[in-house]
């Protein structure tokens, strides 16, 4: 998508959501900075404005905005000292630890392109991403250094390796690293020739060596954000400085009032950063947005470690909690969480996957907070739609288009369908990617002629502009000619009091072609398949009802908590092959 099309976000006065904006007193039009600005300007403004305030907290250790400024300048100076120049890619592979935001900001301040990498990647996945992105350097946590070593060849020119506790202070850092390495034994032996430790990297340069890059503007690529590869090989979405700055402004314009009472009291709002920052949902709405608003980013290295998450929540009660349904659900079923003080919580935002109504209701009862469900993708930086903060109830929708964003529901030919009809969700706005890295054909296929990104998700828009996401195209089940969307069935079935969570796939059926099968994680062994089927009969239209039930201890999920339907289908295939 060329920059001219990308910057074209003319108000569409024929669109129904504008009336909703007007009724709710929301602002649809936004102003972007001049073209010669970038995320670097965003960082520098925050460092100057919030200097002495806390920027990030992790496992009880803190960094101020001033310290993040200092350390990130050193990271930038080191990368510049290697001879890296504008357009070069630096891969960063860490969980949510203090070094991660410091490194990310350092890469961008050096004028380079960041490549976010999932630290749980297999060797094959890591090799693909490093090779495809043409990364020149890799900065990673030592726990996963063996993954890179196992590639068996030199893929990048420079490797920097950090320990979990390297920015936690001398004593605590030593203790954390000792426990991680020698007590929990989470660091497999590795040997990477020429690698440099994170601490030595910082010692090799001074802040004065950092040279603020010239010629970095809104249209330059800031991040290569790789998709999950659910539709084929993982592709790098080229997110420009404009895409990310625009999404920060959009989020602040639409949702920022949640923090106003903290600002009025001179108190910093805390953003619970439990989702991994390498994922675009957390990267923008937690990491970048926290810096933009001067909030405290509460970093949780492993969101599956509920004990650590609960401890962090208790010590630093958050104002903003972005999460996926599985995390909301786990906490809503946790007795310790139920007893905690939730009085500071102003906004809970669901994304990454659909939030089911049963989970949202439990969450409201416990926290008094209505989950504001939003929607986005790696290709949209990510937020494309969201429910307004003023929502009195959980709507079950993904909300209305963000400011300066057009949403169109499209047929297979790229034409808009009538309100209330199902079609593919298209997104157009300043947050939509420049395209896929080195994949011009894939970029063309993903875009309509008038600049809409085709998401591959099926949705419906109502007369007020609210969009309900139905499912991914590829997950649709065809039952006797009727479309069944797993997301819809899962939402209904999760309402059963004995069902913790569930996943639905289509399996072959002689009579109907396909029929739904449900995988159920039950609260206890007393729940029977007959009871599940009876509940389905009471609550679902005939062709939507699961005809087969299988109980499972845990649903397969991605690292950010999405149910992996493709893994459920593989489980079914393996079962049938026996």
| Fold of the CATH domain 476-577 | GMP Synthetase; Chain A, domain 3 (3.30.300)
- Measure Cα distances from 463 to 287, 408, 421, 455 in Å: 35, 13, 11, 21
Identity of the highest mean pLDDT range in 341-355, 380-394, 500-514: 380-394
The mean of the pLDDT values for the chain is: 93
DSSP lists the bridge partners of residue 224 as 115, 238
pLDDT, one tens digit per residue, over 278-287 is 999 999 999 9
Q: What is the per-residue pLDDT for 231?
A: 42
Q: For residue 556, with 0-12 CB atoms within 10 Å meaning exposed, 13-18 middle and 19 or more buried, which class applies?
A: middle
Instruction: Tell me which residue of 501, 499, 492, 490 sits closest to 555, measured CA to CA.
Output: 501
pLDDT bucket at 560, cuts 50 / 70 / 90: confident
pLDDT, one tens digit per residue, over 89-101 is 999 999 999 999 9
Instruction: Tell me which residue of 238, 205, 192, 261 sits closest to 75, measured CA to CA.
Output: 205
Q: What is the per-residue pLDDT for 234?
A: 82
Take residue 96 and report the two structure tokens written for it.
């949510």
pTM (2 d.p.): 0.88
Are the beta carbons of 270 and 317 closer than 8 angstroms? Answer: yes
Segments making up each domain of the chain, as ranges: 3-460, 476-577
Determine how many CB atoms are found less than 10 A away from the CB of residue 32: 15
Q: Is the pLDDT of residue 45 over 60?
A: yes
pLDDT, one tens digit per residue, over 213-245 is 999 999 999 999 998 543 456 899 999 999 999
- What's the CATH number for 3-460? 3.40.50.12780
Distance CA 347, CA 328 (A): 13
Q: Is the pLDDT of residue 523 over 90?
A: yes
Are the beta carbons of 89 and 133 closer than 8 angstroms? Answer: yes
Cα-based angle 421, 422, 425 (whole degrees, multiple of 5): 120
DSSP collapsed to 3 states, 186-226: CCCCCCCCCCEEHHHHHHHCCHHHCCCCCCCCCCCEEEEEE
pLDDT, one tens digit per residue, over 458-486 is 999 999 999 998 877 778 888 887 878 89
pLDDT, one tens digit per residue, over 251-268 is 999 999 999 999 999 999
Q: Determine the number of helices (DSSP H) and then strands (DSSP E) in the chain.
A: 21, 26
Distance CA 225, CA 279 (A): 8
Distance CA 137, CA 15 (A): 46
pLDDT, one tens digit per residue, over 102-159 is 999 999 999 999 999 999 888 988 999 999 999 999 999 999 999 999 999 999 999 9
pLDDT, one tens digit per residue, over 413-450 is 899 999 999 999 999 999 999 999 999 999 999 999 99
Q: Among the listed ranges 11-25, 390-404, 498-512, which one has the minimum average pLDDT value?
A: 11-25
Distance CA 573, CA 578 (A): 9
Residue 508's φ and ψ, nearest 5 degrees, are -65, 145
Q: What is the per-residue pLDDT for 8?
A: 39
pLDDT, one tens digit per residue, over 164-213 is 999 999 999 999 999 999 999 999 999 999 999 999 999 999 999 999 99
Q: Is the pLDDT of residue 52 over 60?
A: yes
pLDDT, one tens digit per residue, over 1-12 is 443 333 334 456
* Percentage, residues of the chain above pLDDT 90: 84
The three-class DSSP label of residue 475 is helix
Cα-based angle 122, 126, 131 (whole degrees, multiple of 5): 150
Name the more confident of 78 and 412: 78
Q: Residue for token digits 């009880």?
A: 60
Instruction: Tell me which residue of 388, 116, 406 sits closest to 251, measured CA to CA.
Output: 388
Instruction: Tell me which residue of 109, 107, 128 sits closest to 118, measured CA to CA.
Output: 128
pLDDT, one tens digit per residue, over 537-548 is 998 888 899 999
Q: What is the per-residue pLDDT for 228?
A: 58
């Amino acid at each position: 998508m060329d920059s001219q099309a990308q910057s074209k976000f003319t108000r569409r006065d024929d669109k129904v959501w504008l009336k909703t904006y007007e009724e709710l007193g929301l602002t649809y039009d936004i102003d972007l900075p001049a073209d010669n600005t970038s995320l670097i300007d965003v960082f520098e403004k925050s460092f100057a404005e919030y200097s002495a305030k806390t920027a990030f907290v992790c496992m009880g250790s803190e960094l101020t905005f001033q310290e993040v400024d200092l350390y990130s300048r050193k990271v930038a100076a080191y990368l510049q000292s290697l001879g890296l120049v504008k357009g070069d890619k630096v891969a960063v592979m860490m969980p949510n630890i203090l070094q991660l935001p410091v490194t990310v900001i350092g890469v961008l301040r050096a004028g380079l392109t960041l490549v976010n990498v999932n630290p749980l990647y297999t060797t094959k996945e890591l090799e693909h991403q490093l090779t495809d992105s043409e990364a020149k350097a890799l900065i990673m946590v030592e726990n996963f250094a063996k993954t890179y070593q196992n590639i068996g060849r030199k893929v990048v020119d420079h490797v920097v390796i950090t320990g979990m506790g390297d920015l936690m202070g001398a004593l605590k850092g030593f203790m954390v690293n000792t426990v991680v390495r020698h007590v929990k034994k989470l660091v497999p032996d590795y040997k990477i020739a020429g690698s440099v430790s994170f601490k030595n990297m910082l010692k090799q340069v001074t802040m004065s060596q950092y040279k603020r890059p010239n010629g970095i503007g809104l249209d330059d690529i800031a991040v290569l954000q790789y998709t999950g590869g659910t539709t084929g090989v993982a592709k790098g979405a080229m997110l420009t400085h404009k895409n990310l700055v625009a999404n920060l402004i959009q989020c602040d314009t639409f949702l920022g009032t949640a923090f106003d009472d903290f600002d009025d009291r001179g108190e910093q709002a805390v953003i619970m950063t439990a989702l991994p920052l390498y994922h675009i949902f957390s990267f923008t709405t937690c990491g970048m947005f926290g810096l933009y608003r001067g909030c405290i980013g509460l970093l949780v290295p492993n969101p599956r470690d509920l004990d650590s998450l609960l401890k962090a929540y208790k010590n630093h009660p958050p104002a903003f909690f972005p999460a996926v349904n599985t995390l909301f659900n786990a906490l809503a079923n946790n007795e310790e969480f139920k007893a905690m003080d939730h009085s500071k919580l102003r906004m809970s935002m669901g994304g990454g996957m659909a939030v089911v109504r049963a989970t949202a209701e439990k969450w409201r009862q416990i926290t008094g907070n209505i989950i504001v469900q939003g929607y986005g993708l790696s290709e949209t930086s990510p937020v494309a739609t969201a429910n307004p903060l003023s929502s009195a109830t959980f709507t079950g929708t993904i909300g209305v288009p963000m400011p300066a964003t057009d949403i169109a529901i499209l047929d297979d030919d790229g034409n808009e369908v009538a309100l209330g009809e199902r079609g593919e969700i298209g997104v157009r706005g300043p947050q939509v990617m420049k395209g896929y890295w080195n994949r011009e054909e894939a970029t063309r296929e993903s875009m309509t002629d008038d600049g809409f990104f085709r998401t591959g998700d099926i949705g419906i828009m109502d007369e007020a502009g609210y969009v309900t996401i139905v499912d991914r195209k590829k997950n649709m089940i065809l039952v006797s000619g009727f479309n069944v969307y797993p997301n819809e069935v899962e939402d209904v079935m999760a309402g059963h009091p004995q069902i913790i969570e569930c996943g639905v796939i289509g399996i072959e059926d002689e009579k109907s072609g396909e029929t739904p099968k449900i995988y159920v994680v039950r609260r206890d062994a007393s729940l029977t398949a007959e009871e599940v089927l009876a509940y389905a009969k009471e609550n679902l239209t005939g062709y939507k009802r699961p005809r087969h039930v299988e109980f499972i201890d845990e649903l397969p999920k991605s690292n950010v908590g999405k149910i992996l339907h493709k893994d459920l289908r593989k489980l079914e295939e393996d079962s049938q092959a026996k």
